[in-house]
Amino acid sequence: MEKVFGGLEFVVVYLEYIPVFSRSKEEHLDYLSVASEWLDKYYVLLNSKKCHILPEGIQLQGK
């Protein structure tokens, strides 16, 4: 996954998570669009049941 998103500074691949970081809702939607294009380019499919679009926050470790 690092090869797929290596050029995007707002995407960090962490284990099976691919969080997209942004400062605003508009910026987040733009970043998701770009990330989606990169996923398509490398033929990567996501499980829609595990995708969280526009979450209020994210917790990667612990409870």
Predicted confidence (pLDDT) per residue in 53-63, tens digit? 887 776 666 55
**Digitized pLDDT (tens) for each residue of the chain, 63 residues in all:** 666 777 778 877 766 777 888 899 899 999 999 999 989 998 989 999 988 888 777 666 655
**Is position 9 within any domain?**
yes
**Is position 43 within any domain?**
yes
Residue 11 class from Cβ within 10 Å (0-12 exposed, 13-18 middle, 19+ buried)?
A: buried
**Is position 20 within any domain?**
yes
pLDDT of residue 15: 66
**Is position 56 within any domain?**
no
Number of domains comprising the chain:
1
Rounded to a whole number, what is the distance in angstroms from the first to the last CA of the chain? 25
**Is position 59 within any domain?**
no
Structural domain for 36, as ranges: 2-50
pLDDT of residue 43: 93
Is 11:20 a contact under the CB 8 Å cutoff?
yes
pLDDT of residue 27: 94
pLDDT of residue 61: 65
